[in-house]
Amino acid sequence: MDINEDKKYLLNKTIKILKDHPPLSPIIRIVELDGQKVIWKDYSERSFWVKDIWGKVLINHECYILRRLSDIQGIPRLIKQINKYGFLSEYMEGEPLAHFKPDTLPIEVFKKFNQLVDRIHERGVVHLDLGQKRNILINKEYQPYFLDFANALYFRTGAFGLSQLFNLLCLIDRNALLKFKHRLFPNSLTNAEKQALKQFLFIRKFWIFKPKKYRPKDNVLLSKVL
């Protein structure tokens, strides 16, 4: 793919804006290059303080994570970091998980969720934001895709003193998937999965960075699992 990094050129090739929520978030666009759709994630139109202090750090970080996961099916391929404020990545065709109602997907989808989480954890990466339904897409063949690795973390395999922290953070990814399993396949949770989900929801009550507006949803879910 011949990539012209000029912003004006990319703007002319933009066919849709997927996300534009200032002031801290990037603009995410679908761009068509050589007849192929790609995703353009860009902070260049934000204020100086956002793009130069916040944005370029997250762009470099996410590009690093995507390179580590580059050959995993279900993870968008990094095409190119075009400047310090943005990058182009593979466009993934599918429907957000939020669009699916209970018992409308085969249970095998959840197995694929776990397999994909296993693959990224094997590379030392934890996503940490799979609880956002918009970060999971499902295509027509029921293949899941994980999006948005801006909040992901990488742990060097075998790093001294960090293995316990890594294992703890892995539980955040896995329990996010258990929430989806409970919603999409309400009668399929094993007793062990119910217990794990209850413990996770209980511990998360004390997470000081969790927005208050989401806490009632956790209480409702906990009452259903009990």
CATH annotation of 95-225: 1.10.510
Task: Give the model's confidence band at 210: pLDDT under 50 very low, under 70 low, under 90 confident, else very high.
Answer: low
* Number of helices and strands in the chain (H, E): 7, 10
SS3 content of the chain, % helix, strand, coil (to 5): 45, 20, 35
Beta-bridge partner residues of 39: 30, 89
Contact 143, 195 (CB under 8 A): no
What are the tokens at 172? Answer: 């955040």
pTM: 0.86
Look over the chain and give the mean of its residue pLDDT values, rounded to a whole number: 87
pLDDT tens string 44-58:
999 999 999 999 999
Range with the poorest average pLDDT among 1-5, 26-30, 111-115, 216-220 = 216-220
Q: Distance between CA 88 and CA 79 in Å, rounded?
A: 5
Q: Do domains 7-90 and 95-225 have the same CATH topology?
A: no
Render pLDDT for 159-171 as a digit per residue (tens, 0 to 9). 667 888 898 899 9
Cα 218 from Cα 105, distance rounded (Å)? 23
As assigned by CATH, the class of the 7-90 domain is alpha beta
Predicted confidence band at 220 (pLDDT cuts at 50, 70, 90)?
A: very low
Express each pLDDT in 63-92 by its tens digit: 999 999 999 999 999 999 999 999 999 999
Domain map (residue ranges) of the chain: 7-90, 95-225
- Residue 95's φ and ψ, nearest 5 degrees, are -105, 140
